[in-house]
A and B are shown apart, each in its own frame.
Chain A
């Protein structure tokens, strides 16, 4: 059996709040295979975003390990190529147009050539924004911005995409379109997906649906 794209083992994370120590994650284990889509649901404050940050290597666990393709290297240098991220608030750079925002992911890897530009344009076409390539984020709707963010997450051909409530700022119809697009693009690129969502219907569309309750991850 091939190495999982993501392997999290016995992750524990706590935060200090005044004198109290809040245990947010307790021995969380998660394996995601190549091309697999996994959703994580949970109430607000259940630790979904914390888990995502640990998975993405943006934060360090108190204990436990995160492996990307069997390697413990989850540093910034590897993150650019291995992992794509999608956020609730899109986080596009306002001074860059849609095409430049997509290309930013590749620039951080240090390689911009004609092929990269073609891929960025192709991804914008895949998310239905061919004709908006030179529009600034301020000239795009919320759904369009999130599509640009999807294209950016896929730009470097990552093994894994982590999406933190990507429909949280969108209306239901646009949210559905974005999730369909995300799942479709990940499937066609054989990219694994970890989707954090409140929406049960969105979670149902993933291959595996998990729930985070009181810091512990359970299957459903």
Chain B
């Protein structure tokens, strides 16, 4: 090992002393910054990841929509399923309805599912907590748990469904009767918005309610694992008739994802300042070290050490603090992520705010998804910033002339 690296290590970890105060404080500062960056970026990444997971689980990776209803959808589904990379496709109809149980109303979206193909495209059945998708027929629905809760309806109850056609019928002075359907299941997805606003029925029920006849509102598509979504969308669009377009889930939620990414970038930038402030502390400590060790620096020159190597000795101390702080920060960050739900639930329980937490953060658990590229960016930036923190002291040390340094008091 070159002498300047050896000396840098020895100055950070002197023989016979476990962890000097300067090294401890400097490392803790950097580690704290890394830990906060990892935890916050992972939790923010978790929100995006969970949203993608829920969308893909309930609607597939690709959505096909038209300006109006899609006619002859069976032929469109057949064409789409012939595209390489497409696993399956399923038509759907979706619009707002009013549901009523007793005197309690709710205004969810009712999504009509094609029972013959829905399970090849979505994982919806996994989220049915009471009953089953198999129990669904043209006179029944599955309620999301929050709708069921707000209506006070349970499996086996009969609820009334009022479709948008009521407006047309009212204007034509026609007699209007709501559709009576049974509740055959309760569904819990784990996303507050979906759990509070969705009802599932059969495609035929939805077509009847919305007056669609044999048309549908769109087609959801599941891709084979590992297939690039953008490439698949391009291939699907080539087989679609005019007026019908395919979008990846990222296209469909592009505004939402853009805001999410902007938030992540801003928070990353702001939290990076913790590392920068820690780096200033490293600079300050190393500058003091240069002043304190002036005669030693002179000695190194007298022994034949070159100014560049003297400079590298101090830069290396910044580098080692950066590496140590990064490793400690990553370990602490991942540990904090591992116990995040326990901590959040404990805080919510103590403050009696569990319901508020669920309402505002959409998910029943605090999600986390750590992206490799984000961790790599944190590691590289932290180590570079810490190493740069050593450059000013290094420059000061390199400028000292041995003969003057040895004479200093």
Interface digits, B297-326 against A, CB 8 Å rule (1 contact, 0 not)? 011111111110100000000000000000
A53 vs B401: C-alpha distance when bound (angstroms): 12
Q: Are A85 and B302 in contact (CB under 8 A)?
A: yes
Cβ–Cβ < 8 Å partners of A192 in chain B:
none
A147 vs B135: C-alpha distance when bound (angstroms): 93
Q: Which residue of A lies closest to B298 (CB)?
A: A91
Cβ–Cβ < 8 Å partners of B402 in chain A:
58
Minimal beta-carbon separation of A167 from chain B (angstroms): 18
Cβ–Cβ < 8 Å partners of B401 in chain A:
58-59
Contact residues of B: prevailing secondary structure: helix
Q: Are A76 and B14 in contact (CB under 8 A)?
A: no
Q: Are B304 and A81 in contact (CB under 8 A)?
A: yes
Cβ–Cβ < 8 Å partners of B3 in chain A:
104, 107-108, 110
Q: Are B14 and A85 in contact (CB under 8 A)?
A: no
The interface centre, meaning the residue of A77, A80, A134 with most chain B CB atoms within 10 A of its CB, is A80
A94 vs B296: C-alpha distance when bound (angstroms): 9
Interface size class of B (residues with CB under 8 A): 20 to 34
Minimal beta-carbon separation of A44 from chain B (angstroms): 14
A109 vs B2: C-alpha distance when bound (angstroms): 9
**Which A residues from 91 to 117 make CB contacts under 8 A with B?**
91, 93-97, 100, 104-105, 107-110
- Given A110-B2, A136-B16, A96 and B10 contact (CB-CB distance below 8 Å): yes
Minimal beta-carbon separation of B165 from chain A (angstroms): 85
Q: Are B306 and A76 in contact (CB under 8 A)?
A: yes
Minimal beta-carbon separation of A146 from chain B (angstroms): 14
Q: Are A91 and B304 in contact (CB under 8 A)?
A: no
Cβ–Cβ < 8 Å partners of A80 in chain B:
303-305
A95 vs B6: C-alpha distance when bound (angstroms): 11
> B6 is contacted by which of A97, A105, A107, A136 (Cβ under 8 Å)?
A107
Cβ–Cβ < 8 Å partners of A87 in chain B:
299, 302, 406
A78 vs B15: C-alpha distance when bound (angstroms): 30
30 A-B pairs with CB atoms under 8 Å apart are: A58-B302, A58-B401, A58-B402, A58-B403, A59-B403, A76-B306, A77-B306, A78-B304, A79-B302, A81-B304, A85-B302, A91-B295, A91-B298, A91-B299, A93-B7, A94-B296, A95-B10, A95-B14, A96-B7, A96-B14, A100-B10, A100-B15, A104-B3, A104-B7, A104-B303, A105-B304, A108-B300, A108-B303, A136-B15, A152-B303
- Chain B interfacial positions (CB closer than 8 Å to A): 2-3, 6-7, 10-11, 14-16, 295-296, 298-307, 309, 401-403, 406
